[in-house]
Structure 1
Amino acid sequence: MNEGQAHIVIVDDEAPIRTLLRNCFEQEGYRVSEAASGAELLKLVNGGNVDLITLDLTLGSESGLEIARNLRAGSQIPIIMVTGKGDVIDRVVGLEIGADDYIAKPFHLREMLARVRTVLRRTGSQTEERTAGPATELIYRFDDWEFNLTRRELREPGGKLCQLTTAEIDLLAVLVKRPGHVLSRDAIMDQLKGHDWAANDRAIDSQISRLRKKLGGGSETSSLIKTIRGVGYSFTAKVTKS
């Protein structure tokens, strides 16, 4: 994917904000569509070729969190949530649902662009890496799981593809590269460049919880990621790299 040709959908029920963001994104060479509701977003997503969604969580009578939850149930399109400055709980819930990043109002357009570029860069590198030959692939194996970092795919024991968000893939990459090491939240955040996750807003804990659930086959816990009380987390599985 050419980042400059990416298709961004702006979801906001305030037309002036949609216009402001549209002008900003189009000046950077992005293709832009607008949606004022969940129904309008769904039509655009069903039409295909959507690369990123900016989603305001306050959409009048609609819940942006519910829209994100419904979208994530059938799609892995990256989502940047737009929240109120003090809406910490909404941010945490949004990340638990599977959003890739968030930005709080009021925001600077330059900051929004930086976040968009970061998420698209991760998504774009995933697309480019899928075209690489097998010799270039970097694969981590643990407890019969296979994590292909080049393709950014995680396969369960038995070979079924496990659906992860881009944020969850980045987090798993940090963990599998340092098996047995105790990583503090600060250390994890330092590795997750491009994510604006404050240590006290539970965002890292929320992502760990989601990843544990997926690694645990739907259970809320997974023995693969151990909590070190008062310190951080440790990936306990034996990892081999090829």
Structure 2
Amino acid sequence: MNRAKIGIVDDEVGMRDALVALLTENHFNPVPMESSADFLVIRKSVDFDLVLIDLQLKGESGLELAMNIRRNSDLPIVMLTGRGDETDKIVGLEIGADDYLLKPFNPRELIARIRAVLRRYGKSTAMSLPSPVSDQETALGRLVVDRVNKIVSTQDGIVVPLTNAEYRLLDFFLDRPNEVIPRVDLLAEIGSDLTRYMDRTIDVLILRLRRKIEENPSKPVHLQTRRGQGYIFVTGNEGSGY
């Protein structure tokens, strides 16, 4: 299987090594480089599918490399930087960078964004995905749940922000698919004081979680109510329930 070739232009050896390990683990073919000069030489013999560029390269600007690339090709570009300067982000996107991520970044988010950019360019994500989701991920309709890093994101790489309680509730349901779970068990799982919060705490959490993971929260496909019994997390399409 051909793996997408991802160029890494970063002058920090520790960051390059970390990115190589991350990309390799996620079935990409990383090519680390220290400078723009390295990239311009290696590109003559390597057909990259996407390049990651650090904005603050030693003695030069990653923006200049991005501009050089964009003047001559439509190679997908994702900028990486430790600087939270909004102006740099705007400039980077205006000169043709496809995405922009601040260091330190969440590894899962970077991988999701790379895949999303590749899809936008019509490049097959099958090159970098051995299956619809990896062993550490769970498909959830339009979403993917990374249960190792505790991240929920869309197939296009947009992270869905969950509170700690919301994620713990989702994780609890994922371990018990198609099983009706009483409210008291859910309350015990999130550590609530049963005499203080009672059922309403769970109802509020369920409502908030539905808004984030269901296409139509008022007609949930996955997180359904069983009146008088509790809640059930339906893995298939068995009709909606309130």
Q: TM-score of the superposition, structure 2-length normalised? A: 0.50
- Give the structure with higher Rg (CA): 2
